[in-house]
Amino acid sequence: MPCEIKKIEELKKLEDADYLIIHFSWWKKEKICDNAPWIDEEVPVERIFEFAKNLRIKNIVFTHIDECHGKTYEELKELEEKYKEYNIKFAYDGMKIVL
């Protein structure tokens, strides 16, 4: 599955999945990366949460976190806590996911 969610047909394949591992895009309320060429091609994080809830996805792991997001490790951990109802984690080098 591609990093970005674009087609509803693709989403239906994810119903009741244990994990959604997906590219971390952007928050609606934050302005990131002036002139980012990908900003119009990706869905915001809030929409990913909506997809996950509707499809009963148990965990979300966000990948491709970079300097555009301007978040420290501590801030990412705070976001995991803030959105714990979605069971989110931010991927890191060497991360292992046990199924």
Residue ranges of alpha helices (H) inside the chain are: 8-12, 45-54, 73-82
Residue 24 pLDDT? 79
Per-residue pLDDT at 19:
94
With a cut of 70, which residues of the chain have pLDDT below it?
1-10, 26-42, 66-69
Sheet of 59-63, strands arranged across: 19-23, 59-63, 88-90
Q: pLDDT value at position 13?
A: 82
pTM of the model: 0.76
pLDDT value, residue 1: 43
Give the per-residue pLDDT at 51: 87
